[in-house]
Copies of this chain bind each other. A is one copy, B any other.
Amino acid sequence: MFFHDRRLQYKVRVDKPNPQFARLLQQAIGGIEGEIRVCLQYLFQAWGNRGPAKYRNMLLETGTEEISHIEMLCTAVALNLEGAKGSIIDEVVSSNPVVEQIMGGMDPRHYLSAGLAAMAADANGVPFNGSWVVASGNLAADMHANVMAEATGRTLATRLWESTTDPGMKDMLAFLIARDTMHQNQWLAVLEELGGPSAHPIPNSFPQEEEVSSVAYSFISTNINMPEKPIARWTDGTSIDGKGVFTYEHGTPMGEEPMLAPPIREGYAQAEQMINKKDNI
């Protein structure tokens, strides 16, 4: 069950409202690297968690924290949009100042649809999409999904930090960047508990003898010019999971040219497709 405090997890202050920056912040709310995604991702992982309960509990802790981050960012968007108000009042001589604001890079829906508030969308107004919420039922796979989310999320946050000179916004982002540092480490800590590199290949519960072992540790080059083996970690030596040895080979078709049956009558293909397969190669 969930509870709230009216106060924010960290202070959100906008010194100079900037409707354009409000648009950029949307990426951190409703974008694929954003906070709605990690919030739902950690919570869905917790709610579906099977196995040691300590992981469920931890996911619940951090999933809950992420709601607070959405809240901070939505507040920041609303405060930045108050800049739209200023210009409308100040530049009342201009023929249609709202349009000017919007045309200067603001998301027009911040005014048209939301009345100067945040939306569940990214910096281009593309709505948040539930398909981004990854909860696979495999704990190690999920932890990698989480590291990835925090790595792209922290990269986004640093770019936002770079995009503003507002001290309040820089401070808020510096907080969120720090939390992303922790969260990356946190998911890596779980991976360490799960065996680190030797947890691979994920899932580790599938019997590896069922794989086509001849290609399980082989870098297959698809370069038509068949270049020599490059000097790289992935072409030589023991594999990272410690369960094989890297090799390098030039790819070549191991299968045949596929042959499909002719169309069935009920599929209403064109009549010309119905002729005998043998005749038409």
A53 to B252 alpha-carbon distance, docked (Å):
22
CB of B204 within 8 A of CB of A270, answer yes
A177 to B233 alpha-carbon distance, docked (Å):
21
CB of B144 within 8 A of CB of A122, answer no
CB of A98 within 8 A of CB of B162, answer yes
Q: Say whether, besides A179-B215, A202-B154, A135 and B112 are in contact (CB < 8 Å).
A: no
User: Number of A residues whose C-beta is below 8 Å from B?
Assistant: 196
CB of A54 within 8 A of CB of B230, answer yes
CB of B112 within 8 A of CB of A134, answer no
Residues of B within 8 A of A68 (CB): 1-2, 222
User: Quick one: copies of this chain in the complex?
Assistant: 6
From 175 to 209 in chain A, residues with beta carbon under 8 angstroms from any chain B beta carbon are 175, 177-182, 184-186, 188-190, 192-195, 197, 199-206, 208
Interface centre among A96, A158, A224, A267 (most CB of B within 10 A): A267
CB of A217 within 8 A of CB of B185, answer yes
**Smallest CB-CB A-B distances: 10 pairs:** A115-B137, A48-B117, A51-B273, A103-B105, A124-B125, A8-B255, A128-B130, A120-B130, A127-B130, A7-B253
Q: Say whether, besides A107-B124, A272-B139, A48 and B115 are in contact (CB < 8 Å).
A: yes
Q: Say whether, besides A182-B219, A258-B12, A269-B203, A71 and B148 are in contact (CB < 8 Å).
A: no
Q: Does A118 make an interface contact (CB < 8 A)?
A: yes
Interface centre among A64, A78, A256 (most CB of B within 10 A): A64
Q: Does A167 make an interface contact (CB < 8 A)?
A: no
